[in-house]
Homo-oligomer: A and B are copies of this chain.
């Protein structure tokens, strides 16, 4: 189950340009904070903070490789969040469709 608070937290993590740039790189290959710092116009520490934020909501996981700590993008969390949003959106649309139906049945009095 994906709680409502979890969905919000993941969205908050995804609501940042820099974090998306990091995720785009990680989506194509694992990298350490230092490696990412060489690809992006940012300090390693700034990137480390973003990676921590992403890891906190399960969008990324880390593993040691020698003396470096590599990060990997996790599709599972993203997909779970997507499904939760899809459901909520569908519920909103169902409500609107129901209202429209009522409006149409009322206008049948013409």
Give the shortest distance, in Å, between A68 (CB) and chain B (any CB): 18
Residues of B close to A27: CB separation below 8 A = 88, 91-92, 95
By the criterion CB–CB under 8 Å, are A15 and B12 in contact? yes
Stretch at the interface among A43-51, A79-87, A102-110: A79-87
Give the shortest distance, in Å, between A81 (CB) and chain B (any CB): 6
* A1-23 with Cβ < 8 A to chain B: 4, 7-9, 11-17, 20
By the criterion CB–CB under 8 Å, are A74 and B92 in contact? yes
Q: Which of B8, B77, B83 contacts A14 (CB 8 A)?
A: B8
Residues of B close to A79: CB separation below 8 A = 85-86, 89-90, 93
